[in-house]
Copies of this chain bind each other. A is one copy, B any other.
Amino acid sequence: MWQLLQFPLCPFSRKVRLLLAEKSIGYQPVRESPWARRDEFLHINPAGQTPVMIDDEAGIRLIDSMAICEYIEETGDKPAMLNGSAADRAEQRRLVTWFDTQFYREITGPLLMERMEKRIVHRQTPDTRVLREAMKAAVEHLDYIDYLLDHRQWIGGATMSLADLAAAAQISIADYLGGIDFKTHDLAKRWYVGMKSRPSFRPLLAERMEGVPPPADYEKLDV
């Protein structure tokens, strides 16, 4: 059985967990707090980031969320989450990187620092200027998602793909941390409600990070 080193608000682990669930691959979540910079963990992954996926019996250690997703795509069963033509898959991969990099850097990353790490590690109050910037960036990203969904059925193209999982993973963490307001973003909202309703998503929404409660409507399917 795979072990997945992760913590409840890690957006990259969430992307991998959604992919595993969509493919019905079982795994055991193992709690790892990257900010603790545990020696044994840094020895496994010098980048110090979750997720890491381990099969000790098979002697396999997978590191880096995109490398893990590509591995799952290569070895797992259908449905393919990088699908269509090679050019279609390139567009899906572009958008995975967009959410993992741009969205994370501008929104999820700052929110995790201000509303989780400062609270549970540094015992500091959040910097309201940083929060405001993140929420402003979130509006721009929702605009972009609206634009994409105005031209195509799903985030990455005509089919559901890893791009949808990556986007929903980042948004769900930003939403947990109070950084998302779907107001005036009807297409993005309808798409996200659809993602939230998937069986792969429900268990993640039920998880909580100790000391960091989500907003009241975080789990609701109609907002």
Contacts and interface: CB of A to CB of B under 8 A. Distances in A.
Interface of A: 46-47, 60, 62-64, 66-68, 70-71, 74-75, 86-87, 89-91, 93-94, 97-98, 101-102, 144
A94 B46 CA distance: 11
A70 B87 contact: no
Contacts of A89: 70-71, 74
Copies of this chain, count = 2
Interface secondary structure of A, over-half rule: helix
A105 to B, nearest CB: 11
Contact of A90 (B71, B94, B97, B98): B71
A62 B129 CA distance: 36
A86 B74 contact: yes
User: What 7 A-B pairs come out closest when comparing CB atoms?
Assistant: A67-B93, A64-B94, A71-B90, A67-B90, A74-B86, A63-B94, A67-B94
B93 A66 contact: yes
